[in-house]
Structure 1
């Protein structure tokens, strides 16, 4: 893994596209203080939205050919349909909308799952002949051009989460990945979850007007009881993400021929030990031909705030992952692990068995999309290459077998840039 300073970054092949996206985020006038569009009262402005206020997109399966359109609303008692077509075509097709209860309320989850879409294609959809039209795009089959997405964790529903939403949307990402602690509903506050969806719908629309699909894995604040709980204790979260997690709360997205994204559950619903770890090894082993192999989970193996206790007999944060998962990440040359939970920005050194190794695995993140803590004894965490107390998200730009990971603070400043290369195709020498 190479660390790239800002000056070097501007001179690299991929950086022109990456920095162009990042520079669009810098404040243009006073309304963009702290990265948020502000009203006259100084509070973040939520634009008026057309259609359901809670509508968002995710992928139930293959991101090159499927989409799931969902929203939460009152039970209107009538059958609904969604019409969709390629953006440049009038060949409209119809998808049925199904409903199911939204837990702990009288509301319903409305869902239209669409398959057999064309890869790398822009689509539009509407909910009636005179209804507003919305746009999205499918993932390409081959990542022949620069491909980018954004990631983070620990969002919530406050003003800083809105600011990071706006920052993320202006990157024009193919999708957003939140690795746990989306709404902070704790499995028992559906209205908090609805507020999160409303914020996402209002702000996670890219400059071209496309809705940005949301991917997520569970964190402790999705679950009533936080850890080792049954599925029904994560009612709000699984009411919409069960389209991808129908049985377990871990899975893998194979995005075209080149990219696999593994989503894991750090003991919130699915235990770390046992079936999930066995599945993880098989999944990583089967994807050694991928140009890009990422893993995302919530609780960090290498925390920036909580105690890891790596050299102690007392188990610390991430002990189970370090014992069971990190050896698999190292054995199968995972490119990057995205982890959160600690409400800071961090980038670890590339690590093997917890120690700096240029052939090791880097761990990025730590969850400050909308939550923040002060620094705590970073000098006692030699596995960390960089850490700061700042709201942030990370833009990942992938091209060929290289990746740039650009950490952007809430105000649009570049906090950190690092580059990783495909290790599965490389040989030590």
Structure 2
């Protein structure tokens, strides 16, 4: 990520340097500053024009810097970033050519050249402070000093060419340099540990809305919120469940503790009727080394094996030999019979998510599925607080009997820090050949590090060995396939995974698939016709193995298709349901059709932008 951003900003610097030379050439070749005999000869018109030039250039500078932040720093590798890199020099060149035709030509060109010079210095500052922008360190002050040097050089240049002795005796020069140094260090601190997240207005600390649903925060701003795992805390920061492959007999208990805790044991009892099974499992520790000091914690996962089917499991947490207060319970799946589960996608953290979550427990689901873009951390370690907020909100979700609800995820673009067309960022995060948790640029994102779904030799798989395709069974009634919709590999990777696992699924009645990118979206934004998954998945997965439903997400709409086979409406085909509306904003329109494709009911919130939650949940 740092390499991609640095490369693109370096291209921006090159273009701005070219623009500087062009403006300089125009200024000296074609523009002659008006000769002013004395200060007293400068009239009101001159000062009014000079003020207008200052205002215009200041406004342009602010606009370009804001555009730089939005398009350059926060959209890694997307072609949208080039809007800024190309537009800034062009606009300044056009602006300079235009002022040739206006009065006070020399002053206008000097202001244009000067503002562009400061913009160039700011971009140099940005490149130098990048290492701390995405990774806070205790040396941020030193980086701030180094990043301030281009600003200080430009300030010195603004004083003009004069003898060094005279310049060193000028107190205004020292004051200006100190101010430039202070501004450089201050803004380095303000940007250090930056997080850019979507749909996270209630995450801890101060968050600045950038545009739409995009929020920005830095390490300094987040320090105004509560610390997720305070050092020395003798209670768990988070306790949550992730589903194992067989939910009738296994479950992952995940625990986050403060760094003062050295070991964790999970003592459990599985009970159904007169049958009782007890055991104790030492949780495995998984290092997540790139978290900010404020977010540091120990991450543990304990795989509970050989549980009794359709049983109530009660467990306690023992830390360093001391049993922590509180009992936790969950249910295992029955071997046969009805199974309830809830499913959605594109959540984040907000009051809407909390309200929707408040309706889940009353349904007493056995497990919950999120089809991607879970916490919207964009795969950024400084955004760990968004996962903390998500897990805090989820900890309040219990069934009517007080049982915890296990989680199953499918991978989405905002879980790994990529947009749909961002192959470079996707590869850098998810290429299995590059996984190295000791290096930030090759470390797995928190979506992978925090949530194990497969066991290897009775333990949670190592972080680098965790796959983004996994399958879960709840008795014979439900087989849920969580598939990667081309974020960590091509469409055939999921095909190979299903073909490999399907022989062991004999006797399973209902197969469901959950994935992020929809193949049949009702959103005009999604390019259904160009979705390469449609070339392979229906015929090679869903139609081939008679799946009942494909749960789709990503488009932030509601939809349900007619039964489909081979990309066409067909009886006894696969129904596709979606499309990721656990929290995202925007238009909601529901249309119900019968088997003859006649519309029998529809409702649209386009005018009011309001939606009755009860109808939303029952739709």
CA distances 1:71-95 after superposition (whole Å, capped 9, x unpaired): 3232124322221113578864221
C-alpha displacement at 1:277, in angstroms? 2.0
Distance 1:119 1:343, change over 3 A: same
| Counterparts in 2 of 1:100 and 1:389: CA distance versus 1, 3 Å | farther
- Residue aligning to 2:392: 198
In structure 2, relative to structure 1, the CA distance for the partners of 1:94 and 1:266 (3 Å cut) is: same
| TM-score, normalising length: structure 1 | 0.71
Equivalents in 1 of 2:346, 2:533: separation in Å? 19
TM-score, length basis structure 2: 0.50
Q: How far 1:190 moved relative to its partner?
A: 1.1
The structure in which a higher percent of residues are helix is 2
Query: Please, which of 38, 46, 55 is the counterpart of residue 239 of structure 2?
Result: 55
The answer for unaligned runs of 5 or more in structure 2 is: 1-233, 431-441, 455-460, 606-610
198 and 102 in structure 1: CA distance in 2 versus 1, 3 angstrom threshold: farther
Give the whole-Å Cα distance in 2 for the aligned partners of 1:280 and 1:383: 32
> Does the 8 Å contact 2:362/2:400 carry over to 1?
yes
Superposed, 1:368-379 pairs within 5 Å as 368-375=581-588
Q: How far apart in 2 are the matches of 1:306 and 1:383?
A: 20
Q: Distance in 2 between matches of 1:353 and 1:61?
A: 29
Tell me the residue number matched to 1:126: 316
Q: Judging changes above 3 Å, is the alpha-carbon distance between structure 1 residues 208 and 376 closer, same or farther for their aligned structure 2 residues?
A: closer
**Structure 1 contact 347–384 (Cα < 8 Å) conserved:** no
Which of 236, 241, 260 is the aligned partner of 2:479?
A: 260
Q: Secondary structure at the match of 2:496?
A: helix
Counterpart contact for 2:339–2:474, Cα < 8 Å: no
Q: Which has the higher contact order (CA 8 A, sep 6+)?
A: 1
**Alpha-carbon distance between aligned partners in 1 of 2:504 and 2:327, rounded to the nearest angstrom:** 40
1:300 aligns with 2:512: no
Deviations 1:102-137 (A, max 9, x none): 353122212221111111110111124461111111
Alpha carbons 1:340, 1:365 under 8 Å: kept: yes
Alpha-carbon distance, 1:187 to partner: 0.5
Equivalent-residue separation in structure 1 for 2:617 and 2:525 (angstroms): 24
The match for 1:411 is 613
**CA shift for structure 1 position 255:** 2.7
More strand by share: 1
Deviation sequence 1:46-81 (CA, Å, 0-9, x none)? xxxx96342210123321111111132321243222
SS in structure 2 at match of 1:55: strand
Q: Any idea what the Cα deviations from partners look like across 1:262-295, whole Å, max 9, x if unmatched? A: 110011123223x332233454576474321111
Cα deviation, 1:156-190, whole Å, max 9, x if unaligned, reads 01111111111122210000011111100010011
The aligned residue for residue 393 of structure 1 is none
Alignment of structure 1 residues 72-151 onto 2, 5 Å:
72-87=256-271, 92-105=278-291, 106-128=296-318, 129=323, 131-143=325-337, 146-151=338-343
CA separation in 1, counterparts of 2:277 and 2:306? 14
Considering only CA atoms, is the larger Rg found in Structure 1 or Structure 2?
A: 2
Per-residue deviation, 1:358: 2.3
Q: Where do 5+ consecutive residues of structure 1 fail to align?
A: 1-49, 391-408, 418-429
Question: Pick from 358, 365, 374: which aligns with 1:173?
Answer: 365
